[in-house]
Amino acid sequence: MKDKSYSALSNAALRAAESYYPEDERLFYDGAAFYLMPPLWKLFLKLIKFSPLREMIFAKRDKELPGVIGNLLYRTRYIDDTLRENLKEMEQLLILGAGFDTRSIRIEGLENLEVFEVDHPETLSKKKKGLKKLYQDLPEYLNLVEIDFEKRDLNEVLQENNFDKNKKTFLIWEGVTQYLEREAVDKVIDYFAELKSGSRVVFSYVKKEVVVGSERSEVDEKIISFVEEMGSPWKTGLKSSEIEEILNSRGLELIEDVGKDEYQKLYSDLSSREISIYDGERIVYAVKD
């Protein structure tokens, strides 16, 4: 992988590009992501404001990695919606593997919560530089917490950074689980049991059969080859049939487990564009008992 923040930058760039579409065509608006980009990424984003060029580049990428862009876009929209639905009931937002996530800036009302964004030091260092282009000082409600999930204990690191487990929390863990060893994934999921009753958890996962290779489509093979070439191979997948048991053992109740089919039903009338969606990744939405 080029560096620890390459994937985070790529995702943020796609969110910024989605914001260039007209209101009746886009899935969401993210006007802040552009300002977190390094100079060359900003130049690229300025170029693809030109619609024909953007369509040509995205069509090429979708042919190479079918549905990957669409999955990111719908995943973002779904998490945004669940967060907004619960905003008034929550006291804290905890984003694990936050990357260049801009929800703390672009979603109205989060300034009334304490927000904790947790990620690798290399990624957060770059994010701080980008945020200072928007703010002279970081917003008081925003806490950037450095961690290597495979080396440090999440509970310990959060305690060091004044995270309060006795407050109702909305937890987001997006696009991370497949890159960690199963032991590290389980340790983070174990932490869900520590959350206050009524807290909400949203996290993504790649299907286990795709990661281990017992069931792979041609599309799966293309995506797996790409992530391996980038030096960020998928290490862990989860079985959809086991999700409820995984949650129940940590005192959580499954609300929804969604992916391609569910996105198409939920947002069938939202965008006038035809957007392909990769079906190897899904999103879990649960509540702490």
Rounded mean pLDDT of the chain?
93
pLDDT per position as a tens digit, 197-220:
999 999 999 999 999 999 999 999
Is the pLDDT at 229 greater than 50? The verdict is yes
Mean pLDDT over 78-96 rounds to 97
Q: Which tokens go with 252?
A: 């959580």
pLDDT at 4: 58
pLDDT per position as a tens digit, 38-49:
999 999 999 999
Sign (positive or negative) of CA dihedral 215, 218, 221, 227: negative
Q: Which tokens go with 212?
A: 């281990």
Name the fold adopted by 6-288.
Rossmann fold (3.40.50)
Q: Where are the domains of the chain?
A: 6-288
Helix (H), strand (E), coil (C) string for 3-51: CCCHHHHHHHHHHHHHCCCCCCCCCCCCCCHHHHCCHHHHHHHHHCCCH
* Helix axes 68-86 and 6-18, enclosed angle (nearest 10): 80
Is the pLDDT at 152 greater than 50? The verdict is yes
Is the pLDDT at 100 greater than 90? The verdict is yes
Nearest CA among 20, 12, 32, 31 for reference residue 135: 32
DSSP string across 258-280: E-HHHHHHHTTTT-SS-----SS
pLDDT at 150: 77
